[in-house]
Structure formats: C-alpha cells, structure tokens
Structure 1
Amino acid sequence: MSQPFIVGFGGTTRPGSSSEKLVRAGLAACEAHGAKVRLFDGAYLSTLPHYAPEDPQRTAAQTEFVEAIRQCDGLIIGTPAYHGGISGLVKNALDLLEDLRADARVYFDARPVGLMVSAAGWQGTGITLSALRDMVHAMRGWPTPIGVTVNSLAGPIFNDQGKIADPQVAATVTAQAEQVIRFSHAFRASPALSGQDLQRAS
C-alpha cells in the first residue's frame, strides 16, 4: 500500500506559535512513520477569506487547501484555546471545508484526526479539546483516542529550535501520530470499516 497522505493545519497569526509547533511536530512524527505530509500553518490560514456560503468563488489558496483535505488520508489539527474555544482562524478553515459536503467521501469521512490544543492554563485546554472533538464528529471524522494538550504556563515546552523539549509532550505527540498512521492504513485497507470497529481492534 502506498504511503498515507497526512495534512496538518493550525496555528495563529503569530509565526512559530505553540499550536503551530505542535502540528509541525505531529507531522514530523507521521513522516517518520512513512507518511507524506503537508502543513497549512497560521500564516497560510490567515490568507483565507472569511467563509461566505453564499459566494461560490474561491481564491487559489482556498482551493489548494480544500483539495489537500479532499485527497488526504488523515489529519492533524492544532489550535490555541481562546476563551474556552478554538481560534477564529481555525474555525474559518473548518467552515471552508463545507465545500466537501457533496463528495463521495464527505467532509472527514473515513479519516483519523489528531487534535492538539495549546492554552495558558489547563481549563482552556480541556474545554477546547472537547469542543474540537465535537466539531470533528460533526464532520464525520474520527478523532484519535489520544489528544494533545499543552499548558504554556507549566514550563518550557519547546527549545530554541522550536522542537519539543518536554519528554512527556513529545511522547504524547508521537503516540498520537502512530494512531493517525495506524488508523489511516486501516481505513484505506477497508473503506467500510467503522470507528467502532477500529476501537475494538485497538
């Protein structure tokens, strides 16, 4: 079977944000397990116009993003926690994926989705991760059992090169990536396999 294609998106308008670094780390872990990866970082997402359902016109950046999601076998989504919810930047990207509603493989159907949240405090991480899981369920995706949450107030998470310095966070990111890869292979081998079947298999 050919290598899976995993797309990651997230971050903020600030280059090198914690949530963007988490997504980069997740994709790097997927790549280490043989996947082809593509990142849409905060800078890219900030170029996407506000989603307007009444306007079918799409910019080149919007089309590129939607097509990458359409072709992918799994996803990693990262967001900061803003007031107990996901950022507007990430929500706008998710809203744009309404363009996948008429696909044979609608929205995130038959794709594992790794979720990552960074916040200044543990309360924000938990609430936001739960909200993001609900959104992925609504889009027919299957959130991985492992979610990655980072409290930026708990101590240094990244080193000067932007790599994860905290061993526990690094291990969690790696474990999530392994689930994304494992379940993407399972879905590709048996497209009719349900999330419930995967849970029993794991």
Structure 2
Amino acid sequence: MTNVSSLSQPLVVGIGGTIGGVSSTERALRIALDAACGQGFRTRMFGGADMAKLPLYDPRATSRTAEEQAFVEAVRSASAVIISSPGYHGSISGVVKNALDLLEETARDERPYLADMPVGLIATAYGWQATGSTIAALRSIVHALRGWPTPFAAAINTQLTKFDDDGGVNDPAVLEQLRLIGRQVARFAPLAA
C-alpha cells in the first residue's frame, strides 16, 4: 500500500506484518505510517502479503524477482523506515527477517543498508515477554544495518490491545505510542539527509 501524494515528498517505508491476512502487527504499522504521512511524508508499506512474495534470500542469486527489486528500490529511496514484527518465539518473524536480509543488495551502494536512517520499531506479541526481546532483536539488527533506532519503540501486548478493521485500537495510550513512532522518524529524517 502506497500513499503517493507527491513524489517530491520524502518517503517513509514500512516493513511488517504476518502471512495470512491483515494482522495486529500490520495494523500497528499502518497507524505509525499515517502519523508520518501527517508530518508531510509519503509512505510505502510492505505488509505480510508483500513479504510473502519475497523468495528466501539467496546471497548467490544472479537475478532478483520484480518484488525483490521493488522492495530494495523503495528502501534505497527512503528517508526513514518503520519495522513492525510479531514476536515469534522470543524474536522477529521469519518473513520480516527475510525482507531485512534482502537489504544486502544495498551493501555496495553509496548509502548501504539503512545507513544514517532513522528507524522506528514496533513489536507485537500475545504477552509481554516476547515484545521486549523482539524490540531488542530489532534494535540489534538496525544497528548492524547502520541505522538509527528512534528513541521510542512500541511494545504491544495483543492479549490486552485489540485493533479494529477501521484502523483504530482500543487503548488510547497504544495509539499515541504508534503515532509517536511516526512523528519521530519524520522529525529525525532531515538529520540523515
């Protein structure tokens, strides 16, 4: 899903979700991206359905699918990124990790990986334990990819927090946390330019 109000506006790329329908993880990401959009950024979201189309990353592949190319080009064009992952067994999901592994395609770019980009982080899990370890894993990955995790990250316990089909959430504090992530990546993006 893309918000293309003007191609002259800076871009925030959202990466996250799960395979098998729109998830809490994807809904949380949409709220954060909408907040960045409200700050004058255009957005491009790679949700679960998009990531399901990415083959397992093979560093020796001599060509890339159209979906892989579109993902890498979007990240190359981004001023900021927001990553949203479910907490699976205490860490990030395989589809999110696979998408991030594909950023190896940027290793020889003038700006490799997520270098100097602000990166907002969201973790959702059915319980608190996996949210914390998933955020920690995401921070570690973003550091390895040379990005700057924003000061605030949202850890969402989906046992307590429920999202609806209209883009809402039952907890106003969670809604504000997700909006804060979108505002932070928008605020810090000009520093990376």
Q: TM-score, normalised by structure 1?
A: 0.89
Q: 1:41-90: CA deviations, max 9, x gaps?
A: 10010000000011121000000000000110000011100000100000
Asked if residue 86 in structure 1 is aligned to residue 92 in structure 2, the reply is: yes
Say which of 63, 72, 78 aligns to 1:66. Answer: 72
> Match for residue 200 of structure 1?
none
Map 1:22-171 onto structure 2 (within 5 A).
22-154=28-160, 156-171=161-176
Secondary structure (helix, strand or coil) at the match of 1:144 reads: strand
- What's the offset of the Cα at 1:160? 4.2
Alpha-carbon distance in 1 for matches of 2:182, 2:138: 17
Report the residue type matching 2:102 in the other structure. L
Secondary structure (helix, strand or coil) at the match of 1:145 reads: strand
- What's the offset of the Cα at 1:185? 1.5
> Match for residue 14 of structure 1?
20
Q: Is the 8 A contact 2:18 2:48 kept in 1?
A: yes
CA RMSD after TM alignment = 1.1
Tell me which stretches of 4 or more aligned residues in structure 1 moved more than 4 Å.
none
Say which of 176, 179, 185 aligns to 1:180. Answer: 185
Q: Is the 8 A contact 1:4 1:181 kept in 2?
A: no
Alpha-carbon distance in 1 for matches of 2:62, 2:29: 29
Alpha-carbon distance in 1 for matches of 2:139, 2:62: 28
Secondary structure (helix, strand or coil) at the match of 2:123 reads: strand
- What's the offset of the Cα at 1:14? 2.2
- What's the offset of the Cα at 1:178? 1.3
Q: Is the 8 A contact 1:84 1:128 kept in 2?
A: yes
Q: Is the 8 A contact 1:75 1:112 kept in 2?
A: yes
Secondary structure (helix, strand or coil) at the match of 2:178 reads: helix
Alpha-carbon distance in 1 for matches of 2:154, 2:105: 28
Q: Is the 8 A contact 1:115 1:144 kept in 2?
A: yes
Q: Which runs of 5+ in 2 are unaligned?
A: 1-7
The size of the alignment, in residue pairs, is: 186
Report the residue type matching 1:175 in the other structure. L
Q: Is the 8 A contact 2:32 2:180 kept in 1?
A: no
Q: Which runs of 5+ in 1 are unaligned?
A: 189-202
Q: TM-score, normalised by structure 2?
A: 0.93
Identity within the alignment, %: 46
